[in-house]
Structure formats: structure tokens, C-alpha cells
Amino acid sequence: MDCLEHRNRIPKISEFSRKDCLFLYEKLADNKIEADHIFLSYEKAKNYNKEFHEDFSEFKESHWIFAETGRGDFWIIDLDDIQSPPTVFFYDHDLEDFSPENMLNMSINILEWFELADLISQIHNENFYDEDFRLKEQWKQKAIEEIEEIKKGLSKKSPFQLF
């Protein structure tokens, strides 16, 4: 997490009970890791969650938006998830409501989400692309292998076209 934007001061967080994720909010500011993986500072996440819990009754009280995409989609964890750290879900805003069937279980935890985001950001190196701006096959294979190292099947589960 050395390349991520750190906070200048630790926020006062009294209502956030997930100690396994709390350190992220104590250490990190807003971070655009890559276009579809934008980690939200505690303050911004708190505002998003307050607003969406008020506006959408189907949005489970235990769901917590921790990141967004540049297109209005969200990355969510369930604070009641007994796994430590909790499982990440992806919500596509085009599906309109926050019902559980509209959330894609990514089968990764929040730390693996950071690994995935970092890996995808590394793929954006211009040297990996041909003259038609397509990812060269050798780099595509390498990226898929590394994504699969994070979690088997993850490269097929992505809500976005990776390449």
C-alpha cells in the first residue's frame, strides 16, 4: 500500500465495527487505483452509504460501499460477513435496485480486490499494446495467469471486459 495515497490524519471512526477493514480507512484517502477501482475515503464512503441506505430500502443495512467505478457502479462488502476480511460484491448501476440478485459476488475479499485493481492498472502500460491499441497476446496471457493466482476463476468473473 506504499504507492497509495495515505491520509494526513486518522479520522474519528466510532460506528464502523469491522476492525479487519478499519485499518484501510485509518490509513487511506481516496485512491483511484485504475478507472474501475476507486477506493473511497472513510468520509466519502460514509456519505455514499448514508445516502443509499436512505434512498433504497432494498439496500441491506449491513452492505457498505467501499469503492466505485468511474461510471456509477459500486464495489460493496457486507459488514455482517463472518469471513475476515469480508467478500466483495459488484453492483452495476444499470440494474437499478440494490437487491441481492443484482450484486455479483466476486468471491474475493477486500485485500484481493486491491491486488486485482493493482494488476489491472499495470496492464495499462502502453508497451503492452500493439499499434492498434490491442493488448499483445503474451501480456494478455500473463495478465490472465496473474488474475487467476489471486483467485481461480476470477478472470472469467470480472464485471468488465478486461482486454
Segment 86-101, tens digit of pLDDT: 899 999 988 877 877 8
> Which grid coordinates belong to 76?
460493496
* pLDDT band per the 50, 70, 90 thresholds, residue 44: very high
Q: What is the mean pLDDT of residues 56-81?
A: 91
> Which grid coordinates belong to 75?
464495489
Which residue spans within 1-134 are E strands per DSSP?
31-34, 37-39, 63-68, 74-78, 87-91, 103-109
Residues 6+ apart with CB under 8 A from 162: 120, 123, 143, 144, 147, 155
| Interval 107-122: pLDDT, tens | 999 999 999 999 988 8
pTM: 0.85
Q: What is the mean pLDDT of residues 21-44?
A: 87
Q: pLDDT higher for 139 or 112?
A: 112
What is the DSSP-derived secondary structure letter of residue 61?
T
* pLDDT band per the 50, 70, 90 thresholds, residue 1: very low
* pLDDT band per the 50, 70, 90 thresholds, residue 76: very high
Q: Which of 25, 37, 5, 40 lies closest to 117, judged by CA?
A: 37
- Degrees to nearest 5, angle at CA 48 with 157 and 38: 45
Which whole-number Å values give the CA distances from 79 to 17, 129, 137, 156, 158, in the listed order?
8, 39, 39, 26, 22
pLDDT at residue 82 above 60?
yes
Domains and CATH numbers, the chain: 19-157 (3.40.1580)
Q: Given this model, what pLDDT does residue 130 score? A: 84
